[in-house]
Chain A
Amino acid sequence: MSAPAAPALETGLAIRLEGVSLGYGRHAVLEDLRLDVAPGEVLVIVGPSGSGKSTVLRAIAGLLPPRAGRVLAQGVPVTGPSPDRAMVFQDDALLPWRTVLRNVELPLRIRGVPRRERRAAAESWIARVGLAGCEDRLPRELSGGMRQRVQLARSLAGAPRAVLMDEPFGALDAQTRAGMQRLLLDVLRDTLATVVFVTHDVDEALLLADRVVVLGHRGGHGGIGRVLRVPDPRTPDIDRAGLRARIIEEL
């Protein structure tokens, strides 16, 4: 398999949350978040539904301005979305009127990459996620797992320095999900991008993470419970029962 043109060779983004409080309208979901994400690390945020996992991700993406505090990317305050911070959504975020190829090309097109170059890059990413031959299909002609592969290719085609993943495999059945996790591990090996991954699945967190952040409720509003380092991350066949029990206890 040929190496994709212009993969994320730039170093990953350092992300920092400084006393960030988040919410919609008047209601605060999370208060006083402090967190450092190191360049190139895979940080997984776990928490029960409603704990504000996705909200944190939206703030890092620049889609949701914090009510207080600052989100910093490489030391610079985040004021809005940037192609440096790509996002993979849970489902149906592909533009349904664009074919697979044209969906994957979109971030490159927005950045003004010439037609031939962006086509080559998109085709190689589509092949990388195992969908060669599906370039001209519409999203509605794909299964849920295939659509998430396209989303992964689309987010990485733009060579972002951080990839924000919002329960990307949450809507998939167990088998497809395991396949997608393998694919993601495989793809992440070649990129230096920082990854912030949100899930409610503890096993998924342990499989992918360098560090696991547990979001929980304390004193009326949510916040960061504990940050746990995963020893020998992404190594198969390691018994992580002890760590797993600690995370579940935190939840």
Chain B
Amino acid sequence: MSTPALDATLGPGAPAVESADAATATGRTRTAAGLRRWAVRFGSLAVVVALWQWLTTADARVGLRFDRLPSPAEVAAEFGRQLGTRIYYLDLAQSLIRILTGFALAAVAGIALGVLVARSRWAADVLLPPVEVVRPIPAIALVPIAILVFPTDEQGIVFITFAAAFFPIMVSTRHAVRALPTLWEDAVRTMGGGRAHVLWNVVLPGTLPGVFGGLSVGMGVAWICVISAEMISGEFGVGYRTWHAYTVVDYPAVLVGMASIGVLGWVASASVELLGRRLTRWLPRAGESAEGDIR
């Protein structure tokens, strides 16, 4: 397992041959280790569900009252029933459209504004004061304003989602741009590159790791806010459906809604994470050269 570390010290020329062997060896151990990690992850989830099943079927009252909480079996049955209805998919699609629209707008606006205020002092002086005043307001507290200002509920919900995701993306981008080493910019400028070349070839790719940090956080809060906004003012959507189930005291349906939110949110965050990792493959990663030795 020490081969990857060894060939790093061999210097120029040698790594080409050496690392090919090392890659296949670590590749094999990596798949085995990967399977084990997935088994642990599923096991962890299974233990939680089993505990829940046991507490509810045993009608446990240990300070907390589990006797009235629906069991996983009941929830699963309700989930199965809902999967057969059209309305479930309509709700999912509605929530997804809302979050994707809001998030995409926030990503574009957040990255653009973050770069702008980090690169131009003038833009920072003009644009930052209002942004900094609005930033501490939780997006969900903007609901009354959204209802007042936007002609339709739909636009209001998308706006809330946008507002939630925008700030973490903008702030992360701004910090990433300011932390960028000037060396790369100097190099591109001595090749005759102007502002556009620096922006396209240095600033945007160089800040991607930081920007994706912001996108991950933004996606998380965007989910929280789209669901909350739907609970307050929607006519469709997973959040609305979940709240509606609560008002008619249909607890299994509430839990189906919660599980749907959890899974969708997880998938959305994982997609951002995956995309980020693919786009920043050039980063030197600790795990890549010395993974075997650490374990």
Which chain B positions have C-beta within 8 A of A89? 183, 186-187
Report whether B282 and A107 are in contact in the complex, using a CB–CB cutoff of 8 Å: no
Give min CB distance, B76 to chain A, whole Å.
Answer: 46
Report whether A140 and B282 are in contact in the complex, using a CB–CB cutoff of 8 Å: yes
Give min CB distance, A153 to chain B, whole Å.
Answer: 13
Contact string against A for B residues 201-236, beta-carbon threshold 8 Å, 1 for contact and 0 otherwise: 110011010000000000000000000000000000
Instruction: Name A's interface SS.
Output: loop
A141 and B22 alpha carbons, distance in the complex (Å): 14
How many chain B residues touch A (Cβ–Cβ < 8 Å)? Answer: 26
Report whether A133 and B16 are in contact in the complex, using a CB–CB cutoff of 8 Å: yes
A158 and B188 alpha carbons, distance in the complex (Å): 12
Report whether A82 and B284 are in contact in the complex, using a CB–CB cutoff of 8 Å: no
Contact of A83 among B183, B184, B192 (CB under 8 A): B192
Q: From known contacts A96-B282, A110-B192, infer whether A87 and B11 are also in contact, taking CB-CB under 8 Å.
A: no
Report whether B205 and A95 are in contact in the complex, using a CB–CB cutoff of 8 Å: yes
> Does A178 sit within 8 A of B, measured CB to CB?
no
Which chain A positions have C-beta within 8 A of B280? 97
Which chain A positions have C-beta within 8 A of B201? 95, 106, 110
A134 and B19 alpha carbons, distance in the complex (Å): 14
Closest to A106 in B: B191
Give min CB distance, B104 to chain A, whole Å.
Answer: 23
Report whether A92 and B188 are in contact in the complex, using a CB–CB cutoff of 8 Å: no
Report whether A93 and B184 are in contact in the complex, using a CB–CB cutoff of 8 Å: yes
Report whether A61 and B282 are in contact in the complex, using a CB–CB cutoff of 8 Å: no
> Does B37 sit within 8 A of A, measured CB to CB?
no
Give min CB distance, A122 to chain B, whole Å.
Answer: 13
Instruction: Name B's interface SS.
Output: helix
Report whether A158 and B12 are in contact in the complex, using a CB–CB cutoff of 8 Å: no
> Does B189 sit within 8 A of A, measured CB to CB?
yes
Report whether B190 and A110 are in contact in the complex, using a CB–CB cutoff of 8 Å: no
Closest to B19 in A: A141
Report whether B192 and A107 are in contact in the complex, using a CB–CB cutoff of 8 Å: yes
A92 and B184 alpha carbons, distance in the complex (Å): 8
Which chain B positions have C-beta within 8 A of A176? 11-12
Report whether B184 and A95 are in contact in the complex, using a CB–CB cutoff of 8 Å: yes
A248 and B37 alpha carbons, distance in the complex (Å): 62
Which chain B positions have C-beta within 8 A of A49? none
Which chain B positions have C-beta within 8 A of A140? 282-284
Q: List 15 A-B contacts (CB under 8 A).
A: A63-B190, A81-B186, A81-B189, A81-B192, A82-B192, A93-B183, A95-B201, A95-B206, A97-B205, A107-B191, A110-B193, A110-B201, A111-B192, A133-B16, A138-B282
